Structure 1
């Protein structure tokens, strides 16, 4: 879903290099073809973002993300059905996602997980039992492909942990757009799971998140935009894009009392190892 905003896009931040946008949605940022993708990643590269992972949330987006990763060497992809769309995980959809997951530039299975916020609020949203079954299937796919599992968790800490424990977590787990509190942060640290932080870490009203983040060792941190959503302070509500990642990285560095340049190096190293990115990206 493309996001429209009446606000002007944020100005380009001061460059901070190297950075990897661990989770973005280039299609929802307005990219349609190879030229659009190049423009967006060129804008990001100008401020130090050397690579982006564009994420699918439905089958059409999975097809598109896989193509986008072939259009530009700075782009990688992840494929899955978003938990709210788990009703669409038919046998045919499973077969196609399995095929796409085998592509070499698909570096993760996601975003999948559990969402307890939208059922009852969003028409057509998959019910929790359906989400749970789809999540379990994606966990198995991550194990079979040996690729990281990228988790969407909204108001579903207990449910996500329950499924991971019941099914057995794959070797590498990423909690994308982590927005939970101390308890889940400690569970992630203990399990060795990665925590990917978006612009919400800069929101002053995200009290529980901001209390939890300092508990996470830097070697378990990633940074992301989740663009076009969650634009960091002070541009909250404006359209987000991968070039905005230095704003989030600097907010995170301030929160955990680490020099921004060191945070950039550490999180980029984490992303390269986690996703198996090419050297220099």
Structure 2
């Protein structure tokens, strides 16, 4: 079993050929996919896609880019969607100080709010972090996610990773792990405990080598698996087995 734990299948880049994309994923041995939401519309569509395909699961949430668009109705909608049995996480949520598409204070406010909503819903969180390490660490230490979570497409330092591991977070690796300049990601991947890593694509973004510059898709998670296995000195089969066990533990799946 190989999981892609983070793919935006509801992205418009898949509008014309989603069935073919999913077929290629199956042919590559990808058995399950998690589709996180990043807005009201995306969260709705995530649940719809998960309802249509038995091997796809959903997460619901508001990405920091979209924090500026939230209203009281947003939280009512997400709470309602979170009750769907195919919703296994709250995300993708967090902070993004690189693009700053929403005011930072608003990003922080809605990140805290969504941690609390995830706690009420009994769900782990999927965290987006870009250039916001200090503020993000401060928030998750003060507003502890009660059901754990994963830092998706982890790009921070090993020092920060150690802090997150102490708080029992999981770390997920994506296409950039395969890049020649992936110093931080490689160090973290080599040192992360075997019971704390996940695999993802972040499709249609962050394609691994040799697909840089092209659209990413779930089938390519196998290249991330191969690189992680190489870095940890494990077989492909063992790495896939461990990542699957970690997925099931974090998201409480049988």
Q: Same fold (TM over 0.5)?
A: yes
Q: Secondary structure at the match of 1:103?
A: coil
Whole-Å separation in 2 of the counterparts to 1:173 and 1:276: 11
Picking from 8, 16, 21, the partner of 1:40 is: 21
Deviation at 1:258, TM superposition (A): 1.4
Deviation at 1:42, TM superposition (A): 2.2
**Superimposed CA distance per residue, residues 90-148 of structure 1 (whole angstroms, 9 cap, x where no aligned partner):** 101111011111111011000000111012xxxxx111100000000110011111111
Do the aligned partners of 1:225 and 1:231 also contact (CA within 8 Å) in 2? yes
Residue 196 (1) aligns with residue 179 (2): no
When normalised by structure 1's length, the TM-score is 0.87
Do the aligned partners of 1:83 and 1:135 also contact (CA within 8 Å) in 2? yes
Tell me the C-alpha RMSD between the 2 structures.
1.5
The residue that corresponds to 2:185 in the other structure is 209
Residue 20 (1) aligns with residue 3 (2): yes
- Structure 1: gaps (5+ residues): 1-17, 120-124
Alpha-carbon spacing, 1:243–1:62, altered in 2? closer, same or farther (3 Å)? same
Q: Where do 4+ consecutive residues of structure 1 move more than 4 Å?
A: none
Deviation at 1:192, TM superposition (A): 1.4
Whole-Å separation in 1 of the counterparts to 2:19 and 2:250: 24
The residue that corresponds to 1:94 in the other structure is 75
Whole-Å separation in 2 of the counterparts to 1:80 and 1:72: 20
Whole-Å separation in 2 of the counterparts to 1:252 and 1:95: 39
Residue 174 (1) aligns with residue 157 (2): no
Whole-Å separation in 1 of the counterparts to 2:176 and 2:81: 31
Whole-Å separation in 1 of the counterparts to 2:133 and 2:61: 20
Deviation at 1:246, TM superposition (A): 0.5
Do the aligned partners of 1:59 and 1:97 also contact (CA within 8 Å) in 2? yes
The aligned length equals 254
**Superimposed CA distance per residue, residues 141-169 of structure 1 (whole angstroms, 9 cap, x where no aligned partner):** 11111111110000111111111112123
Residue 276 (1) aligns with residue 252 (2): yes
The residue that corresponds to 1:229 in the other structure is 205
The residue that corresponds to 1:261 in the other structure is 237
Deviation at 1:37, TM superposition (A): 4.3
Deviation at 1:32, TM superposition (A): 4.2
